[in-house]
Amino acid sequence: MRPRVPGLSRSDNLIARVAEAEREGWLGEVEGLRVSLAGAAEKLGQLDTEERRRSTVVDLGMPTFGQIATRTSEVAAPCQGS
């Protein structure tokens, strides 16, 4: 899913905007851009985690016939006539 998100170019753009805001003394803008940058980094981390989770193979095992087909039988006691 990450290839659809232009994460690196956006992060680079945010970093450049933070630097510009610091240079110009726009303190409120700096804080807002840092929050956005932190959110972008968190989202990219979530995407990486999801990608790793999806690519992990989980062996669910295959039950044997004996495990799934249990044999139960009840034998009735022979009838004794009076």
Q: pLDDT tens-digit profile of 1-25?
A: 555 555 556 678 888 999 999 999 9
Total domains in the chain come to: 1
Residue 65 lies in a domain: no
The domain in which residue 32 lies consists of 2-55
**Three-state SS sequence of the chain:** CHHHCCHHHHHHHHHHHHHHHHHHCCHHHHHHHHHHHHHHHHHHHHHHHHHHHHHCCCCCCCCCHHHHCCCCCCCCCCCCCC
39 within some domain: yes
pLDDT per position as a tens digit, 20-65: 999 999 999 999 999 999 998 999 899 999 999 888 888 888 888 8
19 located within any domain: yes
Judge whether 69 lies within some domain. Answer: no
